[in-house]
Amino acid sequence: MSAPQAYIVLGLGYGDEGKGLATDWLCRRLRPGLVVRFNGGAQAGHTVVTAEGKHHVFSSFGAGTLAGVPTLWSAHCPFAPGPALAELAALQQLGVAPQLLVDAACPVTTHYDVLYNRVLESRRGAGRHGSVGVGFGATLARHEAGPAARLTAGQLLKPGALPAALARIRAYYRARLATEAPEFAFDSVAHDTGDDRLLAAADTLAGQHRAGGPVRFGAGAAALATVAARGQAVVFEGAQGILLDMDAGEFPHVTRSHTTSRNALALVRAHLPGYTARIQYVTRAYHTRHGAGPLPGEAPLALRHYEHETNRPHPYQGCFRLAPLYLPSVRHALAADAPHAAGHARHLLITCLDQTPDQHVLCSENEVPGSAAPGQLPALLGVAFDSLQLAYGPTAATVRLG
């Protein structure tokens, strides 16, 4: 009898590689017990389109939701109550019945984190880092500052303690902005209104938890143990790309997160004994970047079938940027993950091949545009992947072996 499998979905770029498609495809193949988000937060935007025409961009729920797979929001991921409830409503309007288990130890993103994030990113001007402006990195930094400034998902179930916690977080950011952005009038902001919204969201979430509703809170370890006892597969859904990794990316244009397989493999080792981990790398047939930072060979590309693209101009990230797939950057991403992925099977999915001329990979070795047949990409990268998959459209039904 073969060992149960844990697939880890990772992007080899700056994000937007097709991790949502990869996760949905794996879920329809494997019928796993869980999709686990192991990095990033509500700044993710993972698009899933079904063969029946359903379309959703996942941020606070796993991209296996349309395939009927529950999500575990692990303690590595900040949880944003308001955005999660908004996404829940959108999924329910699609006729979907999602299930989300939030680890009680997750840091909670508040309106104060969002405000701080946006104030700092705006004042950087031409030197912006490329933040999405939803408070992800600020949340993690606040939690690292000490117990007084922390707020965890489990505390959302204790409404009596929340006002005092929010008051401490308000004081924390008042002090930080007084030093880092002294021109900003912190006390002119309607903070009480933001507090009321978060308290209302917490009350709604607590009610769902007590009623066994679509969003519940608990121990991620227990959820993984249940799946392991059943021998079910698990899909770990990465957010953002390896080229944005806090250690491997080009500072300061990075995320405050490990976007390699590091976190996922730690969860497998701790909670899924006997599982075989497999790495599912994903890249588009060209490079993209949404936000400030390097993009070698950046240039307009002649793309088609672009109607499902969900990336639009953004007040903090700017316009969606394009370039041929820069092979040295992809090799760098693979090398950054290699210390973690050593000994595990590695697979490669190339997405968006329907968008490129002749369904080729648009690529370059030295920023001179070129192209190659998809099957040539592993050799160009110098990697013998265990399998190659090619996606010729936005749905899992378009994926086939290379």
Q: Is 193 annotated as a binding residue?
A: no
In angstroms, how far is the first alpha carbon of the chain from the final one?
A: 28
Q: Quick check: is 129 catalytic?
A: no
Token representation of residue 389: 């998959």
Q: Is 17 annotated as a binding residue?
A: yes
Q: Is 146 annotated as a binding residue?
A: no
Residues 6+ apart with CB under 8 A from 288: 13, 14, 15, 16, 17, 311, 320, 321, 322, 323
Q: Is 354 annotated as a binding residue?
A: yes
Main-chain phi, psi angles of 44, to 5 degrees: -65, 155
Q: Is 367 annotated as a binding residue?
A: no
Q: Is 353 annotated as a binding residue?
A: yes
Q: Is 274 annotated as a binding residue?
A: no
Q: Is 54 annotated as a binding residue?
A: no
Main-chain phi, psi angles of 382, to 5 degrees: 75, 30
CA distance 137 to 184: 20
What letters, b where the CB count within 10 A reaches 16 and e where it falls short, cover 238-255? Answer: bbbbbbbbbebbeeebbb
Q: Is 240 annotated as a binding residue?
A: yes
Catalytic residue, chosen from 46, 253, 271, 290, is 46
Closest to 63 measured CA to CA, from 204, 225, 239, 205: 239
Q: Is 253 annotated as a binding residue?
A: no
Q: Is 20 annotated as a binding residue?
A: yes
Within 82-161, strands assigned E span 100-103
Q: Is 16 annotated as a binding residue?
A: yes
Q: Which pairs count as long-range contacts for 269-273, CB under 8 Å and 24+ apart, including other chains?
A: 270/221, 271/220, 271/221, 271/224, 271/225, 271/228, 272/4, 272/6, 272/224, 272/227, 272/228, 272/234, 273/228
Q: Is the dihedral of CA 244, 256, 281, 72 positive or negative?
A: negative
C-alpha distances in Å from residue 186, one per residue of 146, 163, 197, 283: 22, 19, 18, 42
CA distance 370 to 175: 52
CA distance 244 to 136: 14
Q: Quick check: is 16 catalytic?
A: yes
Catalytic residue, chosen from 16, 103, 113, 195, is 16
C-alpha distances in Å from residue 209, one per residue of 96, 320, 340, 348: 18, 38, 36, 38
Q: Count how many residues are written for the chain.
A: 402
Q: Which amino acid is at 59?
A: S
Q: Is residue 13 within 8 Å of residue 51, measured between CB atoms?
A: no
Residues comprising the binding site?
A: 15-21, 45-47, 240, 255, 352-354
Residues comprising the binding site for IMP?
A: 16-19, 240, 255
Instruction: Give catalytic residues, as residue numbers.
Output: 16, 46
Residues comprising the binding site for GTP?
A: 15-21, 45-47, 352-354
Residues comprising the binding site for Mg(2+)?
A: 16, 45
